[in-house]
Structure 1
């Protein structure tokens, strides 16, 4: 496994910074350019507006936001939606789905030429699974709506503000099922004008937890707009990053629907501009690891979204960190899709405990992605990253502010070296006024160092373990963590507590060269299905790695038995 440096992971940040600023509105809400330009191509990948029957108002609104063409999912769905067909669209998160339904919805509603009467119900309803997505969709569609009224209904806020919007009259409602159901029961929300219904993230909307509410809402739409069985008076649009087989059989979408698959069988379901990394991390190390990852791979001027059990939307994200692997594969894909949007590169890092390796393998298999194992950020990488951020901050200080501190600066420089004073100032700005604790490059454990042991010929992992135990003794060997084979050299690497490093380096191990390393060389990634778990006190063996632990067993399949001293 090649070592990825923080600069390689973080490489897209500086190049994308200016475009990110241009794409963001003054109130920091996402624009269509934030959310809708696809993540797998530049403007050249799109089709020019002139190929489609788009109104000048839509074209001007899109161009104002830096969008100059329709991208694949928008181009392939536009004509079918404009013809009034029901459509089921599978497309990756970030590929432009919102504008794919938003543009034709606005075009069709404008063609109705209905006046803005007070108290009118919506002509189009878009259902979203979360308030964050509802707000995001509302903002994107409002950016191209012209004179049409677009409002969002979602929980977590008072009813009265949203009620006032409904009383005034609306053309497009973007709603979460729960809040829409509340307003429907109160009689505040009516569906008698509805001509178009769209489900965004349709797989989630039709799954357990939403399905009953969605079925009720769609039933009310049919009842109130005068539909009859098998002859609905509204058009149904389903958009999703994943489309399980059962979605095709939904009763409320036409059997003659047009299915547009932008992903394909066997293709990677997440955006192809996202680099996926995983970092093994024990529960107690998560908070410290999060801080180091953000500093090293995103920095103070990047934008990071950390997923736990709750989430909040953030546009223009550079780095997504998932603190634990979700058991729902679709949830992983949707979370990862918050980065790698609008043609920008993105990074998704997933932290996981050793016991969750099987979930990692399952995500790779079903999402058609491949994680790279991400070593813990080194002390040098963290220092380089925070120093770079501090230098950027210094460059942004206005002259008028600098003048306020000239007297104190001159006083400091009287009896001190200017370079040392500036270095101290950068340390304070970066939040590091004392030494930074080292982390093991393999385990990420704080207060650990990584030792490399290289011999003269290749040996299996259990042989290296035998050599270490025989020469270090049980008291030191059991403190060696994640002994792992090197890929390009006849040796292994392992993490140990810093205080034990002198003892281990001083051990006379014949034919072996031991050294502390600061950068992890290529290692042989563990095969998740090989070997066996340790017994007793927690050791564990696999084909290429021994996890270590207090006296436990390992390598039953490879004849390494800690408890029986057989190698």
Structure 2
């Protein structure tokens, strides 16, 4: 199937050819005709499957047909959870709309609001925004949602998972009830499905699971190592495997900064990427990593959303994610666009039970391994709770439990023996 078969106009087809879009991906084949028909869409597809272009292309065609009376009156709002994803969507729209009359405005926090307010003077056709900054702009009367015809939630799961639920509710109350709604994500947990059931009108449901023949070629490794030896093991793997570009996930801003500093002290070009960096610094770090000036990028989950690096070879879970959903998004940064990828997770005695839960919820089993010279000393006594609650979020072991286990191990006795 070609893009011409999907109902796209000749100008868009020429633009696609110029941008070297070869043929539509499965999500694009199903979503583009439905959006052009004005249908609501609920699109579930793996990371890296082409979801952004799947909604950008038909929306651009709809915008190109607007009468002059509606130009510069906000028609399309794309809500995203992070500034990195906002920038990525804006780049795709900019590439595909070059040379047209379309005016788009990019709005996210962490930078001065004044330039964004200036950009909105005279109106806009499309706004790509994070929820908090959009509310700020609405509070300043910099724009109105009264003329909105299409709402896009990109990475809808994270919009409801990252404390955006209240903000999203306030925004929905300001929008016209008659509008086209497009929800796209790599995962759809219960909260997103509940919102979809409430807002979408007879939607076209697109569910694309990765079949073995189409699944990204991501090899997964789980290496058992004590917490205090993870940094040394990471350095060893970087040298032994000669990884030239590695995205490492840490649990917090502090952890990311600390690990990047340790790697830098060992002569490894590394930098941290997290939500507390200025937008200019975040952009520079990401640019340096993509350009190969950095060997290691140590990122938190919030900063890593929207990172799209062609042929990123390796992802390392230095700290495990809090949820199976985050695990899927993390490893989905590698193995993109048909390239092979490797995802490595460090597993300690304290995190073994949590990783088992991730495996259970992902429907996978990753064989444990050890690296010579880095064999773990601590042992994992904990097992997964039959209820499926152990090891995640508020169900992790307390500090007292860990101290008891450490004391028991010191006397070669298991807890409770």
Structure 1 match to 2:270: none
Q: Which runs of 5+ in 1 are unaligned?
A: 1-46, 379-438, 444-480, 484-525, 541-548, 562-567
**1:536–1:552: 8 Å Cα contact kept in structure 2?**
no
Structure 1 residues 534 and 110 mapped into 2: Cα distance closer, same or farther (>3 Å)? closer
Q: 1:87 to 1:536 in 2, by over 3 A?
A: closer
Q: Any conservation in 2 of the 1:153–1:162 contact (CA below 8 Å)?
A: yes
Match of 1:253 in 2: 199
Matches within 5 A, 1:419-434: none
SS of the residue 1:183 aligns to: helix
Partners of 2:220 and 2:339 in 1: CA distance: 15
Counterpart among 304, 328, 343 of residue 333 in structure 1: 328
**Of residues 165, 169, 179 in structure 1, which corresponds to 2:123?**
169
Structure 2 residue 353 is matched with structure 1 residue 358: yes
The answer on 1:216 being equivalent to 2:76 is no
Give secondary structure in 2 for the equivalent of 1:170.
Answer: coil
Question: Does structure 1 residue 139 correspond to structure 2 residue 91?
Answer: yes
The CA deviation string for residues 378-416 of structure 1, in whole angstroms up to 9 with x for no partner, is 6xxxxxxxxxxxxxxxxxxxxxxxxxxxxxxxxxxxxxx
Retained in 1: the 8 A contact 2:349–2:378?
no
Rounded to whole Å, the distance in 2 between the matches of 1:252 and 1:96 is: 26
Counterpart contact for 1:305–1:314, Cα < 8 Å: no
Give the one of 87, 100, 107 matched to 1:153. 107
Q: Distance in 2 between matches of 1:536 and 1:158?
A: 49
Instruction: Look up the match of 1:304.
Output: 247
Alignment partner, residue 36 of structure 1:
none
Per-residue deviation at 1:150? Answer: 2.6
> Aligned residue for 2:148?
194
How far the C-alpha of 1:482 sits from its partner, in A, is 7.5
Equivalent residue number for residue 412 of structure 1:
none
In the TM superposition, what is the alpha-carbon distance from 1:528 to its structure 2 partner?
Answer: 6.0
RMSD of Structure 2 on Structure 1 (CA): 3.3
Larger radius of gyration: 1
Q: In the alignment, does 2:226 pair up with 1:282?
A: yes
**Distance of 1:185 and 1:210 partners within structure 2:** 17
Q: Is residue 538–residue 553 contact of structure 1 (8 Å, CA) maintained in 2?
A: no
Within the alignment, does 1:49 sit opposite 2:3 as a pair?
A: yes
Whether the 8 Å contact between 1:539 and 1:550 is mirrored in structure 2 is yes
| Counterpart pick for 1:553 among 389, 413, 416 | 413
The partner residue of 2:184 within 229, 235, 239 is 239
Q: Is the 8 A contact 2:78 2:151 kept in 1?
A: yes
Alpha-carbon distance in 1 for matches of 2:383, 2:19: 47
Query: 1:535/1:80 Cα in 2 relative to 1: closer, same or farther (>3 Å)?
Result: closer
Q: Are 1:315 and 2:309 an aligned pair?
A: yes
Residues 403-454 of structure 1 deviation map (CA, whole Å, 9 limit, x = unaligned)? xxxxxxxxxxxxxxxxxxxxxxxxxxxxxxxxxxxx33x33xxxxxxxxxxx
So what's the TM-score if we normalise by structure 2?
Answer: 0.73
Structure 1 residues 273 and 292: CA distance shift in structure 2, 3 A: same
d(CA) in 1 for partners of 2:237, 2:39? 47
Higher RCO (CA 8 Å, separation ≥ 6 residues): 2
The one-character-per-residue Cα deviations of 1:465-502 (angstroms, maximum 9, x if unpaired) are xxxxxxxxxxxxxxxx479xxxxxxxxxxxxxxxxxxx
> What TM-score comes out, normalization by structure 1 length?
0.55
The CA deviation at 1:527 is 11
Separation in 1, partners of 2:344, 2:32? 35
Aligned structure 1 segments of 4 or more residues deviating by more than 4 angstroms: 526-529, 533-540
Displacement of 1:246: 4.3
Gap change, CA 1:482 and 1:184, over 3 Å in 2 = closer
Between 1:199-208 and 1:351-360, the stretch displaced more is: 199-208
How many residue pairs get matched? Answer: 346
Is residue 93–residue 241 contact of structure 1 (8 Å, CA) maintained in 2? yes
